[in-house]
């Protein structure tokens, strides 16, 4: 399946307003902490609303089976889908629950993503997690038991989710958690900070330095209510669109201000501000994105190479890379080596698809960039999504510059933003089968 995109300002609704999904990163952590709280206290926080993302649906399936204590023999299997975070968050929780015996399966793409550092840490802690097919890959049988590990040493350079997963399960452990990074800097550190902040809202006791984390055992008390923020990762695609439509305001419903958001990806407001896309937060909580054409032109004409370290905010890279190229902005992103271990290789994938549009990116071991290099564009490009929701969403705004752009497998956006195509339709995109 593929779609074809055309942009027509006349087809847009007035005003240009979109409703973004709630943050799946926050939602998955809150669901995990609620399950932990139910186990330890019998209580949980009320969640007024959850995102309808595929990852959240997978986590809910797992949590329902977890909450039931498992089903009768032969029916203790849950399919968690393609979500890396749901699988990684669920494993330590289930492994730390005595009497639980269940199997977790996953989609094909997720089965190829890294899991070994988390499995090693769990085995070092005394957990019984057994791969049923290939070593270190789902499906996995989990036999829960009481755990009381000493200090765990983990390399945080592959995924912050491994760290968050251990943190959230550790109040179940007899001695809590003492996690050492061996002096290494975690990737995606804001996500670890998000986990710590949310755990503290559940009254967990945490000591968090740059290279060491301690969590006290058994200390959990849920708040009455947990509100989920709007997803700042999703906002990046509409900043990208504002960049490509200078002078056209785009209104965003319910946006947590960057200064108070738990999400590291709120950083995109500052990045886009530096090139001329302003963010105005209104008293009603809504926001307006607007690109100043003159300021954008000055940045472009200066010839400056925009340099950003993306180690902490990797999910912004696809939208930034595509948007900057199409706007003619030179850039260099560092701290991106771990992008090769996401849903797909998020260094290679954007570079490959941007070449279809005539842009030649430079890839290094831990950097990617563009300094104006061009190549022959395809006459009728078909963007491959690489089974990655962020690839589809990052390239769709390109139809402003490339009318009739085609995108294969558009349904992949369901992982995080099922209504993405509907929102583009509100903004004037005409979407038809290709």
- pLDDT tens for each residue of 352-372: 999 999 999 999 999 999 999
pLDDT of amino acid 189: 93
pLDDT digits (tens, 9 = 90+) for 80-106: 998 899 999 999 999 999 988 999 999
Which residue in the list 284, 315, 345, 388 is annotated as catalytic? Answer: 315
Average pLDDT, the chain: 93
Q: Where in the chain is the domain with CATH 3.65.10.10?
A: 2-21+230-433, 24-215
Give the pLDDT of residue 75.
54
Global pTM reads 0.95
pLDDT digits (tens, 9 = 90+) for 201-252: 999 999 988 789 999 999 999 999 999 999 999 999 999 999 999 999 999 9
pLDDT at 74: 44
When pLDDT is cut at 50, 70 and 90, the band that residue 168 belongs to is very high
Instruction: List the one residue out of 434, 339, 427, 327 whose CA is nearest residue 390.
Output: 339
CATH of domain 24-215: 3.65.10.10
Q: Residue 58, class by beta-carbon neighbours within 10 Å (0-12 exposed, 13-18 middle, 19+ buried)?
A: buried
The predicted structure's pLDDT at residue 71 = 43
pLDDT score, position 73: 43
**Which residue spans within 91-241 are E strands per DSSP?**
101-105, 128-131, 140-143, 151-153, 177-180, 206-208, 212-215
Task: Give the confidence band of 184 by pLDDT, cuts at 50, 70, 90.
Answer: confident
Q: Which residue has the higher pLDDT, 14 or 159?
A: 159
pLDDT in tens, 369-402: 999 999 999 999 999 999 999 999 999 999 999 9
pLDDT of residue 265: 98
Task: Check the CA dihedral 405-408-410-413 and report its sign.
Answer: negative
* Angle 106-93-113 from CA coordinates, rounded to 5°: 35
What's the rounded Cα separation, in Å, for the pair 2 and 384? 9
CA angle 326, 344, 381 (to 5 degrees): 40
End-to-end CA distance of the chain: 8
Does 133 have pLDDT greater than 90?
no
Fold of 2-21+230-433: UDP-n-acetylglucosamine1-carboxyvinyl-transferase; Chain (3.65.10)
Residue 315 annotated among the catalytic residues of the structure: yes
Distances (CA, A) of 66 to 97, 101, 338: 9, 10, 31
Cβ neighbours of 296 (radius 10 Å): 19
| C-alpha dihedral (27, 98, 41, 227), degrees to nearest 10 | 0
The strand pairing partners of 370, in sequence order, are: 331
Residue 256 to residue 281: CA distance in whole angstroms: 9
């Amino acid at each position: 399946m593929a779609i074809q995109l055309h942009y027509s300002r006349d087809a847009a609704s007035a005003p240009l307003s979109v409703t973004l999904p709630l943050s799946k990163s926050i939602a998955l952590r809150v669901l995990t902490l609620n399950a932990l709280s139910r186990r330890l206290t019998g209580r949980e926080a009320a969640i007024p609303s959850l995102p309808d993302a595929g990852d959240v649906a997978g986590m809910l399936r797992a949590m329902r089976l977890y909450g039931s204590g498992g089903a009768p023999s032969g029916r203790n299997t849950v399919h968690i889908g393609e979500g890396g975070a749901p699988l990684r968050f669920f494993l330590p929780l289930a492994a730390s629950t005595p009497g639980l015996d269940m199997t977790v399966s996953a989609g094909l793409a997720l089965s190829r993503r890294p899991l070994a550092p988390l499995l090693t840490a769990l085995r070092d802690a005394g957990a019984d997690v057994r791969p049923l097919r290939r070593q270190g890959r789902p499906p996995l049988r989990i036999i829960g038991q009481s755990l009381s590990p000493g200090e765990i040493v983990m390399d945080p350079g592959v995924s912050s989710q491994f760290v968050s997963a251990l943190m959230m399960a550790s109040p179940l452990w007899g001695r809590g958690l003492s996690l050492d990074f061996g002096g290494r800097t975690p990737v995606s550190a804001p996500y670890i900070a998000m986990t710590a902040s949310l755990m503290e809202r559940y009254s967990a006791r945490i000591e968090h330095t740059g290279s060491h984390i301690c969590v006290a055992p058994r200390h959990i008390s849920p708040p009455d209510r947990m509100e989920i923020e709007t997803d700042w990762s999703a906002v990046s695609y509409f900043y990208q669109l504002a960049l490509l439509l200078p002078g056209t305001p785009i209104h965003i419903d319910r946006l947590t201000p960057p200064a108070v958001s738990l999400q590291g990806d709120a950083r995109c407001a500052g990045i886009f501000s530096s090139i001329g896309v302003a963010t105005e937060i209104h008293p009603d909580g809504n926001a307006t994105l607007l690109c100043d054409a003159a300021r954008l032109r000055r940045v472009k004409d200066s010839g400056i190479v925009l340099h950003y370290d993306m180690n902490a905010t990797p999910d912004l890279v696809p939208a930034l890379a595509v948007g900057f190229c199409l706007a003619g902005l030179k850039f260099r992103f560092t701290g991106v080596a771990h992008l090769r271990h996401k849903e797909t290789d998020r260094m290679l994938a954007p570079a490959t698809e941007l070449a279809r549009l005539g842009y030649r990116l430079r890839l290094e071991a831990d950097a990617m960039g563009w300094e104006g290099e061009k190549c022959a564009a395809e006459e009728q490009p078909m963007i491959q999504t690489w089974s990655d929701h962020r690839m589809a969403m990052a390239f769709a705004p390109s139809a402003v510059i490339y009318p009739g752009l085609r995108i294969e497998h558009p349904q992949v956006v369901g992982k995080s933003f099922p209504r993405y195509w509907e929102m583009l339709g509100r903004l004037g995109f005409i979407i038809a089968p290709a």
